[in-house]
Amino acid sequence: MAASISILGNTGSNAELRYSEQGLPIASFSIASNSFKNTPEGKVQITEWFNVTAFGKIAETLAGHVKKGTHLLVLGKLTFNPWLTNSQEPRAGAEVILQSFEFAGGTRNSSRDGDVEPAEVEPNYTGSVDPQSTANTEAIDTGVASAEPFVNQF
């Protein structure tokens, strides 16, 4: 079973590119999203991590531009993959199969991670994958990006 998900967050690593036996490009990276929860002790920040996988030309684009700390809006299908630890404890990992993405305005400002560099692409670049297509092609949105990406969305 899969559900649609959108994640606005920072990548935890550079996108890694590999190829399937059939030559299909596959990129993967992790992304973290922060939220806040009110508890009896006060407001607590919660960070959720997701593994993201992209296919085709969009995977090559991501691999060339997504570095640790890149701020992205990711849209995709959420799946959970169960696994067992070495001590046979059950766990489940969240994985997102990428359908589209948008660079959300540079990288996080990190004084402790000197290896974070801004992606060298236009800030309003978006990539998308037609979920009904097996070709997994990319699209470029040449419209003007809003400074507030979620204004009037809902």
139 lies in a domain? no
Q: Is residue 96 part of a domain?
A: yes
Residue 142 lies in a domain: no
Percent residues over pLDDT 90 in the chain:
53
Asked if residue 140 belongs to a domain, the reply is no
pLDDT exceeds 80 at position 49: yes
Q: What domain count does the chain have?
A: 1
Taking residues 108-132, report their average pLDDT: 40
**Is pLDDT at 29 greater than 80 in this prediction?**
yes
pLDDT reading at 27 higher than 90: yes
Residue 144 forms part of a structural domain:
no
For the domain that residue 105 is a member of, what is the CATH number? 2.40.50.140
Owning domain of residue 11: 3-128
Greater confidence (27 vs 2) lies with 27
- pTM (predicted TM-score): 0.64
What is the Cα–Cα distance from 13 to 28, expressed in whole angstroms?
Answer: 9
* pLDDT score of 88: 92
